[in-house]
DNA sequence: ATTAGATTTCAGAAAAATCTGAAAATAGAA
DNA sequence: TTCTATTTTCAGATTTTTCTGAAATCTAAT
């Protein structure tokens, strides 16, 4: 094997690397539960993202200590979310998986999927309820008018959110990054909080 | 009690009203689980929002068929989220609760709380991991450089999101509605999808 | 200070979500 | 097609979350 100019990691550095990856995986996994996806699904995604290399089912099982079935199901969901993709290495029968490496496109995928699961069903239900409820007529009691108004208010609020989501996070959307930049520039409010505590990136500029 | 000019609901209309409310409560409750809050907590909020009237613990228990303890705990969380408030009726020893009636301020509260629970802990963890991981030096192996880059990318992405959240959804923020309007106007992308299927609001204009 | 109505707490029960593992199905190589 | 490495499925086990209900605590009126 031709020894390229690549620096070799000392065992100590390698251990630290693994440790850092594991911590990232654990944090992302914890988030997973908050986001309503299973811990394992989030962990598999974290593993593939943070290592950046394509991995097969067995590697994932070993690294995360989870069952084959669990990996299979998690991987399927991640593929549906379109945050990882299948890779086939020639001369190898196994399937490998690789994570989307661009953070913004990853965030977009997450946003898209969440809107789909969280907002769309609510809007559908609201439409249905609005039809089912007593309609407003010339002599409607206050109750009925208020109900319809409240339903409409919620519908309008979430409707606007969905429109924006499609516009910026949809498959053909302008991109979350664009939206974020637009908003960041917008001349409103006073707070300019949360500057990242540290930035590790040094001379290595991209 | 002086019979004002208020129209009286027929029993049939009243039943439809209750039915519509119940459906709304059920939908909102279902969302609750997706949002990582308990079904009951979401249902209590939905009940208070959709009826608009202050209710006491016993009324909530009866209407939702849940235990006293459950109502107590749900109400406490909702107060923390600041989406409902306590009301005291003079000459009544019980506490009543009433929901925020403005949808945008409600959405802001939800966004604020979610960022706090979902993004902030992740950012903290990322900072910690970045420090713990091997630092980039002049002879760092590729592995280490990539790890730090990926950590920074995630940190930047979520950092921007947090900044925006503070700006628009924070306690002194410019308001989600403002943000939404800004974005809706923004001259990007092609899709103008999702026009609400129907709008129930008729001549009754606010 | 007493009392009774109202609220909170929390241990254990119930329900829901997640995970395992082995059997069944699938798919590439020969 | 046959063979076999690989993947998927899903019933039951495990873990986590949520809920109940009654005892403990609180609170405001007398």
As a whole number, mean pLDDT of residues A31-59 equals 95
Question: Is A148–B200 a contact, with Cβ atoms under 8 angstroms apart?
Answer: yes
The confidence band for B3, taking pLDDT boundaries of 50, 70 and 90, is low
Q: What percent of chain A has pLDDT over 90?
A: 58
The answer to whether some atom of strand C lies closer than 7 Å to the beta carbon of A73 is yes
Burial class (CB in 10 A: 0-12, 13-18, 19+), B1: exposed
Angstrom distance (rounded) from CA B52 to CA B46: 10
DSSP β-bridge partners for residue A53: none
As a whole number, mean pLDDT of residues A171-179 equals 76
Maximum mean pLDDT: which of A25-34, B20-29, B105-114: B20-29
pLDDT of residue B182: 79
Query: What are the DSSP calls for B63-99, one per residue?
Result: HHT--HHHHHHHHHHHHHHTSEEEEE-TT--SEEEEE
Nucleic acid strand D: bases within 7 A of protein CB: 5-11, 16-23, 28-29
Dump pLDDT digits (tens) for A105-145: 999 998 888 888 889 999 999 999 999 999 999 998 999 99
Phi and psi for B83 in degrees, rounded to 5?
A: -105, -10
Question: Is A20–B132 a contact, with Cβ atoms under 8 angstroms apart?
Answer: yes
Contact A37, A24 (CB under 8 A): no
- Considering CB atoms only, which of B20, B129, B193 is closest to A129? B20
Dump pLDDT digits (tens) for B122-166: 999 999 999 999 999 999 899 999 999 999 999 999 998 888 888
The answer to whether some atom of strand D lies closer than 7 Å to the beta carbon of B44 is no
Angstrom distance (rounded) from CA A37 to CA A156: 27
Contact B7, A140 (CB under 8 A): yes
The confidence band for A90, taking pLDDT boundaries of 50, 70 and 90, is confident
Q: Which of B70, B71, B73, B101 is nearest to B85 (CA)?
A: B101
- Closest nucleotide C1' to the C-alpha of B70: D19
Could you tell me the distance in Å between the CA of residue B48 and the C1' of nucleotide D28?
A: 26
Nucleic acid strand C: bases within 7 A of protein CB: 5-11, 16-22, 28-29
Dump pLDDT digits (tens) for A182-194: 777 776 644 444 4
Q: B78 CB contacts (<8 Å, ≥6 apart)?
A: B41, B44, B45, B84, B97
Shortest distance, CA A171 to any CA of chain B (angstroms): 10
Question: Is A136–B20 a contact, with Cβ atoms under 8 angstroms apart?
Answer: no
Phi and psi for B187 in degrees, rounded to 5?
A: -85, 70
The mean pLDDT of chain B is 86
Contact B14, B22 (CB under 8 A): no
Start-to-end CA distance of chain B, whole Å, equals: 28
Q: What is the Rg, in whole angstroms, of the alpha carbon atoms belonging to chain B?
A: 23
The answer, yes or no, to whether residue B80 has pLDDT greater than 80, is yes
Angstrom distance (rounded) from CA B55 to CA B107: 22
The answer to whether some atom of strand D lies closer than 7 Å to the beta carbon of B8 is no
The answer, yes or no, to whether residue B200 has pLDDT greater than 60, is no
Could you tell me the distance in Å between the CA of residue B184 and the C1' of nucleotide C8?
A: 46
The answer to whether some atom of strand C lies closer than 7 Å to the beta carbon of A92 is no
Angstrom distance (rounded) from CA A122 to CA B173: 26
- Considering CB atoms only, which of B156, B188, B200 is closest to A152? B200
Q: B188 CB contacts (<8 Å, ≥6 apart)?
A: A167, A168, A174, A178
Phi and psi for A204 in degrees, rounded to 5?
A: -65, 10
Place of tokens 């079935």: A69
pLDDT of residue B117: 87
Phi and psi for B38 in degrees, rounded to 5?
A: -70, 150
Dump pLDDT digits (tens) for B163-196: 888 888 877 766 778 888 777 777 664 444 444 4
Nearest CA in chain B to A129: B20
Which position has the higher pLDDT, B44 or A111?
Answer: B44
Q: Give all strands (DSSP E) within chain B, no chain letters.
A: 55-56, 84-88, 95-99
Which position has the higher pLDDT, B19 or A201?
Answer: B19
């Amino acid at each position: 094997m031709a020894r390229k100019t690549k620096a070799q990691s000392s065992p100590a550095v390698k251990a630290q690397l693994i440790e850092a990856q594991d911590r990232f995986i654990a944090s992302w996994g914890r988030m997973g539960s908050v986001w309503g996806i299973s811990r394992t699904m989030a962990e598999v995604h974290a593993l593939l993202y943070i290592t950046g290399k394509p991995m097969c089912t067995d590697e994932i099982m070993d690294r995360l200590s989870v069952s084959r079935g669990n990996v299979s199901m998690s991987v399927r969901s991640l593929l549906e979310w379109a945050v990882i993709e299948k890779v086939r290495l020639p001369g190898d029968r196994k399937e490998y998986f690789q994570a989307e490496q661009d953070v913004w496109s990853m965030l977009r995928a997450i946003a898209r999927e969440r809107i789909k699961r969280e907002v769309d069903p609510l809007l559908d239900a609201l439409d249905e309820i609005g039809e089912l409820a007593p309609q407003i007529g010339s002599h409607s009691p206050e109750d009925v008018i208020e109900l319809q108004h409240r339903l409409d208010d919620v519908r309008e609020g979430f409707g606007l959110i969905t429109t924006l989501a499609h516009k910026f996070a949809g498959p053909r959307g302008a991109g979350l990054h664009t939206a974020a930049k637009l908003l960041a520039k917008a001349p409103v409010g006073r707070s300019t909080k949360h500057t990242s505590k540290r930035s590790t990136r040094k001379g290595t500029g991209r």
